[in-house]
Structure 1
């Protein structure tokens, strides 16, 4: 009997699950937000994921339900569970990916290393935190932020005045961490508890958006790699995450490894695994949510580099630029998300691997630059 996995959300992450599902002989059923979504070729329903009745009608007969994003309301998730459906990760885990304040509280209870943080409900409370932490801090909206949205570096409480007015409840404030670099550790966990971990990777952020990923992270052997994996496994176990979990980390100037953010789904920092690992994060996620044996996570090449392609003004001939870049860089793999181009939006990525890190970085950056411009 063919197994069917339902995916709520029709974005590029659901799109990249389609070939993985095909290879596994698994059917994919996508609940998309709109016609023409990136994963529209697998959409079996189009509607409002905040409407429990619509989602329940779509979900009948699915063997497991997972997500392209973490924004599905708890009441909808609970309705699916009450209907006897296998929701993975479950609402009790996804809650900590939906609310950054709850996430910080839970990770603190687990004793995991984090930046110093606090909930703040007024400009005065934020000013006090800033004074105690060197004159600057990072303020985040607890819910809904991604790709740099919902995050501000501030030096006075007044700089977050609009958020205090618009956001119900307290904001999250964190110390402004002095870090050498950002890392990301992805693991997969089955409902039965089995784990698989990929090598820790280095991610480069520009304007709050992931720009490129190097796998494995240079100079991340021994202690750094061990600590990153230990943290991710502790998060997955402590929060009872099933499927792929990505933990974004800071490696600080004083050699600490701190948890920055987390995602309970395939993540931008893991796209390199499509070409660069024995098992891609998308195949592994499907295996995990179906409680199937997990695949190997070793690297196919000594180095793999993924570079995101960010959009520019619409109507600039993205298709022709892809074709030109393909001709110039035949060893680079190109991924288009079939999304309307606009400044700063992720519309695709490129990936390549090899023995010489400098050359691999050059090839990936050059190919991405050709597509973007």
Structure 2
């Protein structure tokens, strides 16, 4: 009997689940935050994911629930499970994607490689950590940060006075997370999918390039990653997925350090920006694989379709009009490029789409992808 998958959140990740859901014969219902969001084609409901009544009214309309983001409150997630609804990933796993301190505690408990870290409740605690780490550190809010938000590089505890003041005003109190400022050569990402039965499939490790804290481009596979790097990254992702009981797609963001370590930076338990390249570059895209896992169907091959794939985010977009206005020029100049629009209005720094090119030679592929994406930023 065909299944219907419910996605909470109506952003571009939910939007990119629509084509594979059609191909798999799965129904897709989206609970979008507002009208007109990226996934509006499948948005059967509109409402606040933080409102228990809204989410609990959505749940009976689908066979399994998954997410476009990790922000649904834990009490709502646990009520869904208590009522017998299938939730993938479940609250016990999502907890570690929602709270960075809990994530660091769990990864440390599992013996996985992470930067040196501490949870701090005041400026004195923070300054003690900074003094022990060459006077610098990376300070993060435990919850809510993404795309560079909720993250500061600091060299004096006084620079965090406003964040500690906000904690003091919070009735629940809390801590901030401080980490060593890692000297890294580059950032990597390892994606893996895992179904409830435990079957898993991992894609090749990729290199990610950030711009102002936002992913700007992805090179797949990561240049020079054959052998040890690929093996270590895949092993880390497998251990995280199994250790946390993740179902669906898991993205493990990594640092490759100057002293040849591979350290875990962040986790995402959903399709991820670093995996958009898989739509054209892999036998099974992250979006199809995520739906297979949520529906507990056998996973597809994660093998490459081409030796190299480069994905470039379109950040901001044209100064006038919309992204689609420039399609004729982009398509004429770069027929090898595949363009994905998120149906969002342009705005400085906003992800409104991405461009992917696949091919035999990394330099040529990267040039074409970057050049095609650049035509949307003017």
Normalising to structure 2: TM-score of the pair? 0.97
Match runs of 1:159-238 below 5 Å: 159-167=159-167, 168-238=173-243
Shifted more, 161-170 versus 210-219: the winner is 161-170
Equivalent residues of 2:338, 2:355 under 8 A apart? yes
The CA deviation at 1:371 is 1.0
Task: Give the ranges of 4+ consecutive aligned residues of structure 1 lying more than 6 Å apart after TM superposition.
Answer: none
Structure 2 CA distance for aligned equivalents of residues 340 and 164 of structure 1: 35
Assess if the C-alpha contact under 8 Å between 1:322 and 1:370 holds in 2.
Answer: no
Deviation at 1:323, TM superposition (A): 3.1
Residue 302 of structure 1 corresponds to 307
Asked if the contact 1:62–1:85 (Cα under 8 Å) also holds between the matched residues in 2, the reply is no
- Residue 19, structure 1, aligned to residue 24, structure 2: no
| Counterpart-to-counterpart distance in 1, 2:34 and 2:61 | 22
Contact 2:193 2:250 in 1 (8 A): yes
Superposed CA RMSD: 1.0
Identify the range of structure 1 (152-161 vs 10-19) with the bigger mean alpha-carbon deviation: 152-161
Q: CA deviation at 1:312?
A: 4.8
2:170 corresponding residue in structure 1? none
Q: Which residue of 2 aligns with 1:362?
A: 367
Deviation for aligned residue 1:324:
1.8
- Residue 107 (str. 1) matches residue 107 (str. 2): yes
Q: Which consecutive residues of structure 2, in runs of 5 or more, have no partner in the other structure?
A: 168-172
Secondary structure of residue in 2 paired with 1:372: coil
1:320, distance to aligned residue in structure 2 (A):
1.9
Are 1:16 and 1:282, in contact at CA under 8 Å, matched by a contact in 2? yes
- 2:98 aligns to what? 98
* Distance in 2 between residues matched to 1:9 and 1:339, nearest whole Å: 15
Q: Structure 1: how far apart are the matches of 2:322 and 2:58?
A: 36
Q: CA deviation at 1:7?
A: 0.2
**Aligned-pair distance for 1:313?**
7.3
Q: Contact between 1:136 and 1:155, CA under 8 Å: does it hold in 2?
A: yes
Contact residue 321 and residue 372 of structure 1 kept, 8 A: no
1:1-373 correspondence runs (5 A): 1-167=1-167, 168-312=173-317, 315-373=320-378
How far apart, CA to CA, are the structure 2 residues paired with 1:63 and 1:20? 17
Deviations 1:20-70 (A, max 9, x none): 101101000000000001001101110010111111111104211000000
**Structure 1 residue 314 displacement after superposition:** 6.2
> Deviations for 1:292-322, whole angstroms, at most 9, x for unmatched residues?
0000001111000000000157644433223
Q: Tell me if structure 1 keeps the 8 A contact 2:308–2:358.
A: yes
Unaligned runs of 5+ in 1: none
CA contact (8 A) 1:213 1:306 kept: yes
Alignment partners' CA distance in 2, 1:160 and 1:20: 44
CA distance in 2, matches of 1:57, 1:317: 35
1:312-359, CA deviations, whole angstroms, 9 ceiling, x for partnerless residues?
A: 576444332233212211110000101121111111000011011101
Q: How many residues end up aligned between the 2 structures?
A: 373
Please report how far the alpha carbon of residue 6 of structure 1 lies from its aligned counterpart in structure 2 after TM superposition. 0.3
1:314·1:340 contact (CA, 8 Å) conserved in 2? Answer: no
Cα deviation, residue 289, structure 1 = 0.9
Distance 2:244 2:285 in 1: 23
In 2, distance between residues paired with 1:314 and 1:64?
A: 41
Distance 1:133 1:58, change over 3 A: same
Q: CA deviation at 1:82?
A: 1.3
C-alpha distance in structure 1 between counterparts of 2:324 and 2:286, whole Å: 27
Report the CA distance between 1:255 and its aligned residue: 0.4
- Are 2:311 and 2:369, in contact at CA under 8 Å, matched by a contact in 1? yes
Distance 2:345 2:144 in 1: 22
* C-alpha displacement of 1:158: 1.1
How has the CA–CA distance of structure 1 residues 41 and 184 changed in structure 2, closer, same or farther, with 3 Å as cutoff? same
